[in-house]
Structure 1
Amino acid sequence: MIASDAMPGQADGLSRAMQSVDLNLLVALDALLTERSVTGAARRLGLSPSATSRTLARLRLATGDPLLVQAGRALAATPYAEELSSRVHALAHDAQAVLRPAPGRLDLAALRRTFTIRAGEGFVELLAAPLVAVITAAAPYVRLRFAPKPDKDAKPLREGLIDLEIGVLGTAAPEVRTRLLFRDRRVGVARIGHPLLAAGGVTPERYAACSHVVASREGEFLEPVDDALAEMGLKRAVVLVVPGHPDAMRVARRSDLVAVVPRSCLGNALAADHAASLGLESFELPVRTPEFAISAIWHPRLDVDPAHRWLRDTIMAVGRDAYPQRHAIA
């Protein structure tokens, strides 16, 4: 199909060029020069002798050379055909290889490739180490490069600057592929011994009365929890905004500020134990906030690439082990 933005003259020229190129002729020429016989070439090509004879006539017209001429009961190649013989065989072989389905077998032990993954700090902190351990054990020559995630622009995926993105789908690019890694939800964290966590429970009023730290790459002060509080006529005091959730957790550990983080930032199902090791205590938010999906996101040009498919499957497996109670395979 001719692109719709092609100029009329360009479209006509491209159409004529495509009509003048027939890879079937290349394969037929290879068979004829190998067999030096119309009948033998017909058997090789799966055609009738008459059809193969007509193809030879087309080849003569295309090349301007007789190619094969009668020599007694056999056919003899012309000097030009002899000159073409080895080149044509290689070209026909290469053309068939290019148009053959991509090989599905993947030799991980010999795979040499660097994958660039764009992910948030929380994913890198919690899953980069187990992921690289699994990958290195199976494919010792594979390397991972984690790239910063300043936004959710699909341009790096389209241009091949990154191979895979991990996070919440936030791009309007319709062509990207996604696979659900797990579903996450927001929880609150505060330092161990924080007054909010004293007897009496975390009520909306007591929660809103605290000072808060918010994690936002865009520098925003509001989160979904603020919408839920506003429906109850409440408003919290956000006194600090930091770039990422690990930053918010570090601030909360060393102050009386309260943070909201994805539950996945606290590790696996034993989240309370992991939070305690960080000097934090997690708690359920006193208002409802929506769950959100963490997905693997990639460009369709890598969809059937065996190595990329293996990388996606490996990340899914590592995520399943890390979050056994919250994992969902798409």
Structure 2
Amino acid sequence: MARPDLNLLVTLDVLLEEGSVTRAGERLALSPSAMSRALARLRRATGDPLLVRAGRGLVPTPRAVELRERVRALVREAEEVLRPGEELDLASLERTFSLRSSDGFVERFGPALVAGIAQEAPGVRLRFLQKATRDTGPLRDGTVDLETGVVQEVLPPDVVSTPLFTDRFVGVVRDEHPLSSGAVTLAQYAASRHVHVSRRGLSEGLIDEALRPMGHQRQVVTVVDSFGAALVLARASDLVASVPERHSANLRQGMVSFELPFPAPEVTVSLMWHMRLETDPAHRWLRHRILDMARRI
């Protein structure tokens, strides 16, 4: 079955409004003969004459009167669909955004982000989710609107990313730890007992890769799946935690932080989203707010 020509809806709308082939043609920039052909096509498509001669003019048939309001509504709705989106009104915006973030992001950046958004768009709600895996599935299926994390592999072509900031690792110990005063040497650091962070349960990571070329190996005695958990253990024991400096700033309060006695590993934290939201005005606004906040703090 042939698909109907939806352009005929616009023609029918104008014809029914004007009640004249000539005036309808003038509005649509069509010649009288072209309008007559369009009316003939409409009659064949609907199985009804639609407009019939009455004296010197045309009058609608009962079928045309029945269709008039429906056609007008369809044409207006189509015009709305094809019109550029209205300017974003933050004061009246009501929407919930889900942000899946890596460990420490909410503690470090959440308060400023929530306060800033509440001031601009009080109807916007943020839902923070813990990032347990690197799977981009939640972005692609719409479960998550935005995600932060370190991009270690090439992202799928439908996932967009932009760098948020670069973070470097620092060492952290409790206040009375042997390494809490004075400069920490490479030998002291390597000889200490360490808590290592790995979501996959691995006992080595970036820190160990940085130590290896210098002929040192640290003693990892505990493995946890988050930087927050590592700092809790270091706060209550003589374990050394090595964590990203910016991400863990709030979590490290009351503890002693020191520069690593070797070139500290750095990671770039990125913001990710699905391309279907690339031009969404509200989503774009939120992305810019997160970018501005992360680069200021």
Q: TM-score range by the shorter chain?
A: over 0.9
Alpha-carbon contact 1:66-1:78 (below 8 Å) kept: yes
* Structure 2 match to 1:283: 258
Alpha-carbon contact 2:174-2:236 (below 8 Å) kept: yes
**SS across alignment from 1:32:** helix
1-structure distance, mates of 2:217, 2:158: 40
Match of 1:256 among 220, 238, 243: 238
Please give the TM-score of this superposition, normalised by the length of structure 2.
Answer: 0.92
* Structure 1 match to 2:126: 144
Deviation (angstroms), 1:197: 4.8
* Structure 2 match to 1:168: 150
Deviation (angstroms), 1:180: 1.9
* Structure 2 match to 1:8: none
* Structure 2 match to 1:63: 46
Give 2:133's aligned amino acid.
Answer: D
**1:75 and 2:58 equivalent?**
yes
**SS across alignment from 2:243:** strand
Deviation (angstroms), 1:136: 1.1
* Structure 2 match to 1:190: 173
2-structure distance, mates of 1:62, 1:210: 84
* Structure 2 match to 1:326: none
2-structure distance, mates of 1:92, 1:212: 68
Match of 2:273 among 274, 285, 298: 298
**SS across alignment from 1:264:** coil
Deviation (angstroms), 1:290: 4.2
Match of 1:53 among 24, 32, 36: 36
Extract unaligned runs of 5+ from structure 1. Answer: 1-15, 269-273, 323-330
User: Percent identity at matched positions?
Assistant: 53
Map 1:178-327; keep pairs closer than 5 Å: 178-199=161-182, 201-267=183-249, 275=252, 278-322=253-297
Query: Could you say if the C-alpha distance between residues 151 and 266 of structure 1 is closer, same or farther in structure 2, counting changes exceeding 3 Å?
Result: closer
Extract unaligned runs of 5+ from structure 2. Answer: none
**1:85 and 2:60 equivalent?**
no
2-structure distance, mates of 1:130, 1:292: 22
Give 1:226's aligned amino acid.
Answer: D
Higher helix residue share: 1
* 285-294 vs 157-166, greater mean Cα deviation: 285-294
- How many pairs align? 296
